[in-house]
Amino acid sequence: PQQPRLSSSALAGYGIGSWNKKSSPSSSGGGGAAVATRNPWDDANKANTVSKSDTFIKAPTTKKSYGLGSWNKSASPGGATSANAPPAAAATGGCPFHANYDAIRDELKLIMDNPSWDDGSLAPIFLRLAWHSSGTYDANTGTGGSNGAGMRFQNEAADPENAGLAPARAFLEPVKRKFPEISYSDLWILAAYVGLEVTGGPVIDFQPGRVDHPDESYWEQMSYGRLPAAEKYCCPHLDDSNVSSSLDETGKVKGWEGLCTHVRNEVFYRMGFNDQEIVALLCGGHVYGRCHPNASGYAGPWVENMTEFSNEYATDMIEDEWTLVSHGDTWLDAQGSAELRPAPGNRQFVNQKKGVTGDDPNQMMLLSDMILAWDPDFRPILEMYAEDEDKLKVDFGAAFKRLTELGCGFP
C-alpha cells in the first residue's frame, strides 16, 4: 500500500500546508493555492534538531526513540522519551543482506512527490541529506563519510551547514519503520539515488552495506568545517546598504580566490576529488532544490526547474547576468523577488536587476557557485557541461556514487 503522505494538518506547525513556488507570496509565478501563514523553514528548522519531529511524521504509538536529534516527550504526543541516541542496534544498524531493496525503492518512489513540501518533491532534500552525510569524509584520516549516519546525533546535526536537514531525516522515518532491516546510512543514500532516478537524473547502482554508528563516540575524531561554506575567506560584508563595495573592478567578490581554495582544497581535494569531479558534483547537485534563509541563510532556487535533472545550472551561470545582493536589498521585495533576499549578514548573486522587471524566474547563485565561472581551471569544465547535458549526467552520476561510498570500505 502507498505510504501515507504527511498531511497539511500535520505540517501546520511550520506553515507548510500549501507552501510551494506557485503559492508563495515571494514567487514570480503568483496565484495558485492559498499562501502559508508562516515560512516552512521557521524557527524549529533553524535549530538543527528535531524537537518537533512529530510535526513532520506521525508520532509513534509506542514509547520508542528514533534517534532524531532531540525528539522528546514534550514534543511527541506519542510520549517518546528524550533521547539523542539511536534506536536499538537491530533497528539502527540494519541487516543489509536481508533487506528487500526493490521494495524499499518502490516505497521511496511512493513518497517522493509531495505537494505540501517546497516545490512538490522530496528529491532535492534527500539529495542534500546524502550529500552532507557523505561530504564529511577525510581521506587522510579515513574518518567521516556516509557510513554511520552520524547526523542522527546532536553534534553532527548541529553543524551549521546541516541546518534544515531534520525534515529530510524525519520524512524517511516511516520507511525505516516499515523496513527496519535497512540501516539509516543505506536508507539516506538510497533515497537520494531514487530521487535522482525519478527526476530524470542518472541511474546509480546502489551498493548496500553501510553500518550505523551505535553512539556518538565517533565524533571524537571529527570536527566542524568539513562541509563547504558559501562565503569563507571572502571580504567581510560590512555595509548592508552598499553591497557592491564587496566587488572588485571585474565584478568578482573580493577575496574569491580564498573561497575557491576552501572549496577546492579544504573540501573536495580533502576527499580525493579532482577539478572535473568538483564541477560535475556542483552542476548536478545544485540543479535541485532551493535555499531557505531560516536554514542556510541564503534564499531561492538555483534554476527555474528545480525538481528535474538538467544542465541548467551550468548554462544559466554562464549566460545570465548576475547581481550581488544582501538582506538590505529590499528592492527585491518590490519587484516580486522577495524569495531571493538572503538573511542578514549574507550575500548572494541573483538574476534580477534593480529597477528592471521582466519575465525571468527568480534564481540565485551562491558565492561558492560563482567560483566555477571565475576560476580559470574550473571555467572550461563548466562550459563543457553547459554544452553537453548527457556528459554531465554520466559524470555527475559517477562522482556522486563515489562521494556516497567514501569511507564505506566497499571493494
The per-residue DSSP string of 327-359 comes to TT-THHHHTT-GGGPPPTT-EEEES-BTTB--S
Could you give the angle at which helices 389-405 and 378-387 cross, rounded to 10 degrees?
A: 120
Which residues are part of the catalytic machinery? Answer: 132, 302
**209-219: string of b/e by CB count within 10 Å (b at 16+)?**
ebbbbeebebe
Is residue 207 exposed (0-12), middle (13-18) or buried (19+ Cβ within 10 Å)?
middle
Q: Is 96 exposed, middle or buried (0-12, 13-18, 19+ CB in 10 A)?
A: middle
Q: What angle do CA 260, 151, 212 make, to 5 degrees?
A: 120
Query: Nine-digit cell at 122?
Result: 522530496
| CA 249 vs CA 186, 238, 244, 246, 269: distances in Å | 48, 18, 10, 10, 30
Helices (H), 43-153: 43-46, 89-93, 101-112, 123-134
Per-residue burial over 369-383, b if 16 or more Cβ lie within 10 Å, else e, is bbbbbbbeebeebbb
Give residue 234's region: left, alpha or beta (phi > 0; psi -120 to 50): beta
Q: How many angstroms separate the CA atoms of 173 and 180, rounded?
A: 10
Sheet with 347-350, strands from edge to edge, namely: 323-326, 347-350, 364-365
Sole residue written with cell 539511536: 86
Q: Which helix (H) or strand (E) holds 324?
A: strand 323-326
Please name which of 365, 397, 389 lies closest in space to residue 290, comparing C-alpha atoms.
Answer: 365
Beta-carbon contacts of 21 under 8 Å, excluding residues fewer than 6 positions away, are 27, 29, 119, 301
